[in-house]
């Protein structure tokens, strides 16, 4: 046994001595010259090797490469397409005899890649990436002798580490004179052992002249021994974003997560997700994706507080307001239906909850939304939220199976305080009171004009214990009374509002119109009935209201000489400038009719014979 060991040791010594002698006899300058020559022949490019070229064979097989540069295609200048400051790699020799591959540190320092594009679309890499004409294939079958005699089974693979230092990529658009820079990129993998967690770190910078991105990431990488599962755990990723496209000019995003992929089930799972944006907005949750022919995505996400002002800069908000004003005057032909083909490319099923939503002055709480996408149909199921002392419940469907999408929506709003809601949401503060709404709408087309033209369905609303601001109907009636009979009109200086105990509005949308079939307002002083319509495209108003005085306008104990009189009020104009006026003509007709009736009854007496006589004279007196 000892003799055998001596023999093996002697063979190893002879091998090492032979390798050392062989290496010492080889001139590395000759090898570099050969590499330069072959590169010139195959690519037409100049390869410049400034650094040393060295290798070793014991105790590991490896090489070291110094500075190297591949020059640009002369058509793109005299720079370097690819360059490195240095590179190194080695494989331990002795473990190979026990079916173990131990790779030493793989190190690449100062790698730089420059990619240039001309106006005609040609790039500085075309001559390297375009393959030459394929050589004719031999009709003889390739020999497979010996190919079946090798197998990777039983081999252990271990990597000491990977280090990429100061790598840079430049993307240059010569036509636009624009450069995008990625780098420096630094990446470290602290070893790679299958079946174990391996630490890694990454840092990079990206700058395109308009946006600057800086990233710092750390975590653990796991690869199963049979490569059936790959996972990232304890990932901490920080992003710093700066630029005009970023709300308020800058944003810091910190993300912690765990991510895994199982090969057999084609399933990627995202867990322990925690996102923090500028310390003001957080998102937590989980998600999974099954990579079938049509990916199936599931998620469960929560946002404790979402304030949209954190994502909308003041300049963007003002420009959006201008855009909205301009869009209202755009011709319908300039609008395009949104492309919803993406709804056919995935299946989605998830829940999003937002504890509190703040959008400018509007605030909503306890939002819960179930989202489903399947077969090109988006379903927003069971939306619920608490807002302004009330509650919203809604369901909506968008069908994107056809080029022009169709939609439907049913919603109920109960117990909401109308004036603060309308004021915060739309700067509309003309109506106050408790609000209940029930709607069931549908339509075809998702452009603003298509929605206004094609939307249809009922909207029923009831306001209780509220007021209409901007108009004081009792005051208008008192002024009209003073005009008719003469009197003091100085009492007109009062708050412009009309109180009511209930306001019912039953309306129907269709053919670009919102028709009010019934508008009925009840108050201690008045009863108002109205009908009319508003045009959804030109935003015109055309409503008529009939007001009846049921109690004294002067207060308790005063004589009510207008009781029972129909007082017509017209509302014309537009949504932004409504004009409310008494219909004086009809008012005088009603007043005259009432006066004539009184005189006739006084002359004829209030009996059956006088009533029959009045009936025979025509409906004017009834």
DSSP 290-309: E-SSS-EEEEEEEEEEEEGG
**% of the chain residues with pLDDT over 90:** 48
Lowest mean pLDDT among 20-29, 52-61, 299-308, 339-348: 20-29
> How much is the pLDDT for 347?
96
β-strand partners of 461:
437, 505
29 pLDDT band (50/70/90 cuts)?
A: confident
Mean pLDDT of 519-535: 88
Q: Does residue 40 register a pLDDT over 90?
A: no
Joined tokens for residue 572:
């014309």
Joined tokens for residue 25:
């006899």
**% of the chain residues with pLDDT over 70:** 71
Across the chain, what does the average pLDDT equal?
A: 81
Q: Does residue 221 register a pLDDT over 80?
A: yes
> How much is the pLDDT for 555?
46
Mean pLDDT of 6-13: 44
**What is the distance between the alpha carbons of residues 66 and 463, in angstroms, rounded to a whole number?**
81
Q: Mark out the alpha helices in 281-433 (DSSP H runs).
A: 314-328, 418-426
> How much is the pLDDT for 146?
40
Contact in structure between 547 and 473 (CB atoms under 8 Å) = yes
> How much is the pLDDT for 127?
83
Between CA 365 and CA 367, with CA 366 as vertex, the angle to 5 degrees is 95
Pick the residue with more confidence: 517 or 611? 517
**Quick one: which H or E segment has residue 22?**
helix 2-25
Joined tokens for residue 382:
């069971």
Query: How far, CA to CA in Å, does 30 sit from each of 17, 49, 51, 52?
Result: 22, 12, 14, 12
**What is the distance between the alpha carbons of residues 438 and 496, in angstroms, rounded to a whole number?**
29
| Count of C-beta atoms within a 10 Å radius of residue 155 | 11
- The alpha carbons of the chain give a radius of gyration, in whole angstroms, of 41
CA-nearest of 360, 355, 356 to 311 is 360
Mean pLDDT of 402-426: 93
> How much is the pLDDT for 30?
72
At residue 538, φ and ψ (nearest 5 deg) are -90, 0
Whether the predicted model's global pTM rises above the 0.85 cut = no
Contact in structure between 254 and 237 (CB atoms under 8 Å) = yes
> How much is the pLDDT for 143?
47
Contact in structure between 367 and 391 (CB atoms under 8 Å) = no
Lowest mean pLDDT among 56-70, 330-344, 389-403, 471-485: 471-485
Mean pLDDT of 60-68: 75
Rounded to the nearest 10 degrees, the angle between the axes of helix 473-485 and helix 584-604 is 60
Q: How do residues 460-481 score in pLDDT, each as one tens digit?
A: 999 999 888 877 776 776 676 6
Query: Which stretch, 392-396, 580-584, 618-622, has highest mean pLDDT?
Result: 392-396
125 pLDDT band (50/70/90 cuts)?
A: confident
What length is written for the chain?
622
Joined tokens for residue 232:
């990232």
Contact in structure between 232 and 220 (CB atoms under 8 Å) = yes
Mean pLDDT of 333-348: 89
> How much is the pLDDT for 595?
54
Contact in structure between 567 and 590 (CB atoms under 8 Å) = yes
Mean pLDDT of 356-374: 95
> How much is the pLDDT for 79?
87
What stretches of 47-142 adopt beta strand conformation (E)? Answer: 47-49, 53-56, 60-65, 68-71, 80-84, 86-92, 100-109, 112-117
Residues 6+ away with beta carbon under 8 Å from 71: 45, 46, 47, 48, 78, 79, 80, 81
**Burial level of 441, CB count in 10 A (0-12/13-18/19+)?**
middle
Joined tokens for residue 257:
């997560």
> How much is the pLDDT for 407?
96
Residue carrying structure tokens 């309308």: 422
Joined tokens for residue 453:
């033209």
Q: How far does the chain reach from its first CA to its final CA, in angstroms?
A: 134
Mean pLDDT of 45-71: 76
**What is the distance between the alpha carbons of residues 85 and 111, in angstroms, rounded to a whole number?**
7
Joined tokens for residue 295:
């990916």
**38-59 per-residue burial string, b: 16 or more CB within 10 A, e: under 16:** ebeeeeebebebeeeeeeebee
Joined tokens for residue 324:
């909205």
Q: Does residue 111 register a pLDDT over 70?
A: yes
8 pLDDT band (50/70/90 cuts)?
A: very low
β-strand partners of 490:
none
**What is the distance between the alpha carbons of residues 93 and 19, in angstroms, rounded to a whole number?**
13
**What is the distance between the alpha carbons of residues 188 and 218, in angstroms, rounded to a whole number?**
9
152 pLDDT band (50/70/90 cuts)?
A: very low
Q: How do residues 537-564 score in pLDDT, each as one tens digit?
A: 999 999 998 888 775 555 444 555 556 6
Q: How do residues 252-274 score in pLDDT, each as one tens digit?
A: 999 999 999 999 999 999 999 99
Mean pLDDT of 516-523: 90
Pick the residue with more confidence: 140 or 82? 82
């Amino acid at each position: 046994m000892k003799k055998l060991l001596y023999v093996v040791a002697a063979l190893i010594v002879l091998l090492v001595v032979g390798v050392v002698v062989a290496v010492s006899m080889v001139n590395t300058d000759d090898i570099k010259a050969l590499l330069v020559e072959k590169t010139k022949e195959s690519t037409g490019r100049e390869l410049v090797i400034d650094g040393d070229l060295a290798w070793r064979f014991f105790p590991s097989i490896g090489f070291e490469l110094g500075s190297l540069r591949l020059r640009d295609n002369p058509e793109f200048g005299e720079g370097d397409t690819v360059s490195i400051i240095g590179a190194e790699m080695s494989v331990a020799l002795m473990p190979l005899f026990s079916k173990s591959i131990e790779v030493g540190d793989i190190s690449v320092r100062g790698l730089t890649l420059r990619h240039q594009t001309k106006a005609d679309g040609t790039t500085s890499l075309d001559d390297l990436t375009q393959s030459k004409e394929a050589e004719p294939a031999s009709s003889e079958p390739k020999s497979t002798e010996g190919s079946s005699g090798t197998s990777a089974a039983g081999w252990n693979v271990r990597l000491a580490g990977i280090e990429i230092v100061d790598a840079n990529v430049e993307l240059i658009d010569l036509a636009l004179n624009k450069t995008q820079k990625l780098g420096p990129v630094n990446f470290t993998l602290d070893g790679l052992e299958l079946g174990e967690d391996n630490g890694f770190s990454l840092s990079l910078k990206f700058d395109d002249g308009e946006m600057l991105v800086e990233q710092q990431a750390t975590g653990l990488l796991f690869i199963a021994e049979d490569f059936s599962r790959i996972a990232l755990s304890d990932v901490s990723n920080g992003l710093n974003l700066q630029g005009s496209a970023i709300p308020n000019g800058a944003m810091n995003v910190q993300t912690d997560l765990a991510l895994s992929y199982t090969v057999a089930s084609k399933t990627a799972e995202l867990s322990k997700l925690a996102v923090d944006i500028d310390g003001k907005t957080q998102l937590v949750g989980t998600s999974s994706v099954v990579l079938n022919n049509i990916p199936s995505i599931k998620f469960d996400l929560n946002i404790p507080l979402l304030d949209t002002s954190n994502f909308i800069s003041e300049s963007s908000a003002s420009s959006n307001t201008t855009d909205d004003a301009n869009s209202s005057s755009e011709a319908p032909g300039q609008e395009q239906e949104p492309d919803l083909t993406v709804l056919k490319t995935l299946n989605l099923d998830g829940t999003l909850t937002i504890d509190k939503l703040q959008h400018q002055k509007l605030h909503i709480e306890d939002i819960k939304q179930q989202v489903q996408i399947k077969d090109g149909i988006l379903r927003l199921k069971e939306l619920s939220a608490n807002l302004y002392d009330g509650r919203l419940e809604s369901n909506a469907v968008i069908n994107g199976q056809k080029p022009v999408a169709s939609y439907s929506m049913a919603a109920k709003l109960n117990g909401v305080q109308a004036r603060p809601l309308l004021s915060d949401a739309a700067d509309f503060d003309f109506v106050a009171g408790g609000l209940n709404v029930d709607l069931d709408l549908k339509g075809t087309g998702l452009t603003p004009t298509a929605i206004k033209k094609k939307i249809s369905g009922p909207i029923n609303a009831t306001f209780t214990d509220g007021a209409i601001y901007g108009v004081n109907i009792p005051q208008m009636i008192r002024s009209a009374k003073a005009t008719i009979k003469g009197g003091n009109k100085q009492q007109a200086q009062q708050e412009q509002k009309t109180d009511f105990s209930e306001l019912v509005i039953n309306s129907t949308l269709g053919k670009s119109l919102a028709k009010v079939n019934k508008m009925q307002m009840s108050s201690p002083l008045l009863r108002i009935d109205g009908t009319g319509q508003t045009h959804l495209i030109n935003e015109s108003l055309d409503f008529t209201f009939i007001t009846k005085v049921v109690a004294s306008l002067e207060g308790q104990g005063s004589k009510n000489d207008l009781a029972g009189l129909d007082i017509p009020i017209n509302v014309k104009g537009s949504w932004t400038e409504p004009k409310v006026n008494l219909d004086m003509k009809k008012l005088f007709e009603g007043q005259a009719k009432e006066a004539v009736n009184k005189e006739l009854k006084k002359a004829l007496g209030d009996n059956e014979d006088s009533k029959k006589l009045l009936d025979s004279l025509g409906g004017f007196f009834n």
